[in-house]
Structure 1
């Protein structure tokens, strides 16, 4: 396998490589060689080796004996959901409401699989639009399991150092350092807000009350101003039942008390039902 190009990603670097079959593959390389980074890579291998789901990125191989650890993944051609929503600095992409809703359903299904089908269950720990990849058909692939945790069957929560991305991190987790499946639910709620509003989940460039879009979205819902914050593409592409249904679901996921949030399985069922509601 030989390196051909280096593409910047958030937590690591992906290099396109080729096997003798000429199939393009991304290589995830640590930015630096340290014990913490290597531990995260090994953790990702352990997690991904347990998974087999159409909406979870596939790990094809790894090499930890090189100076810089390398993980080899299936090549996902359309990049991240983050860039499809917000653009890549050079162009603004159009992502239809139908695609957004389907991506939400696929992502929810993958997270429900992690929480309920694993033995033991798995908490992703860093759900965000940057960690949702899209293939040729815009099928969602949940990725980056460096912060993920296996949950012993007799435990509901895990005590950890707080990891994640600001704006997506469960506030309850930040306060207690107790990571649970409901932490992923909160983060998924933030992704729903991105899909609905087309806004980055956090930005210092916005007025104070709008810097954290998840909080502003919940406030807008309480003030019955949902349709003031929706992106035009979403407003024109979705029907009232769908938009209100997804918005209500996002609000439930973003509740500050984790016990009041739905499970990912409940979320997945609800989003899947909403994908079937196209009449006005």
Structure 2
């Protein structure tokens, strides 16, 4: 089952848990958004900043192409703007890094069928798999953003301009008659800069080494690492691996019966 990443649709994903972690989550009723230092890829949210020249090059190409499309041939970024940006780029990169390193990450997967995941994250099949469904309003209220992990083995160099261009593409589509100067003015609005910050932070926090690409990971990202009381609203089913002997089955069953009405414990794969 593939989870929807559309922000206006419910999101379905799966979380493999050992029996101890499953019981802890059920007792607390929460999903834990972990700090990057606790995850299994030691390079989580580590990257090299792109320099001012690289940033300007990406932005310059975008505005040049938009100028061509909108009847303003020969447009170039104003030199004074480029020089001002070069002076502030290092400070902006530092602020971005500080923010990105505080992100909370909830790791899950759209894949319920992986025996490798049952083995690695659910005590070799003795644990459980939570099936979760988060409504769009829940995601919005908690400021959550879902991203599929991109798996890379090479250097991690991050150019924030690549994300700004994606936001500006959407802005240009919303204002098809705007001139380049008008687009630049609109790009300074707080809502646009907020969208940019979200997109560039989500991208840098969704890269993992290819050693883990079999996991097909989906991530829910929050601005800070902490536990969020989302389990009772999102838990749909709890699965155990057919043919295994689940640990602490009675305790899990009792917690579901007392605190999670309508949530069933079922064997996977179903017959």
The interval holding the TM-score normalised by the smaller chain is under 0.3
Query: Which gives a bigger RCO, structure 1 or 2 (Cα 8 Å, sep 6+)?
Result: 2
> Taking structure 2 as the reference length, what is the TM-score of the superposition?
0.23
Higher helix share: 2
> Taking structure 1 as the reference length, what is the TM-score of the superposition?
0.22
